[in-house]
């Protein structure tokens, strides 16, 4: 959630430890997945994101096939 991410980013600033998390994003009936990486940068935070929706869909399909067999 956005408030949870904000707290995590504040912790990055205070502690200086990187934060990494995969998060879903839902908007107007679609769902995408993003990998987030937050790093301390000067007295703030630098956040990078990568769309990993394709990889997550493959993982879900592999899990479904494993459970069916």
Q: What is the pLDDT of residue 3?
A: 79
Rounded Cα distance between 55 and 14, Å, is 32
Q: E strands along the chain, which residues?
A: 19-27, 30-41, 44-51
pLDDT tens digits along 40-66: 999 999 999 999 999 999 999 999 999
Please state, rounded to an integer, the average pLDDT across all residues of the chain.
94
Question: What is the average pLDDT across 14-28?
Answer: 95
């Amino acid at each position: 959630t956005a408030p949870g991410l904000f707290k995590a980013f504040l912790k990055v600033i205070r502690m200086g430890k990187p934060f990494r998390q995969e998060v879903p994003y839902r908007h107007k009936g679609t769902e995408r997945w993003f990998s987030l990486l937050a790093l301390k940068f000067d007295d703030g935070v630098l956040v990078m994101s990568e769309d990993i929706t394709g990889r997550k869909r493959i993982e879900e399909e592999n899990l479904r096939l494993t459970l069916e067999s």
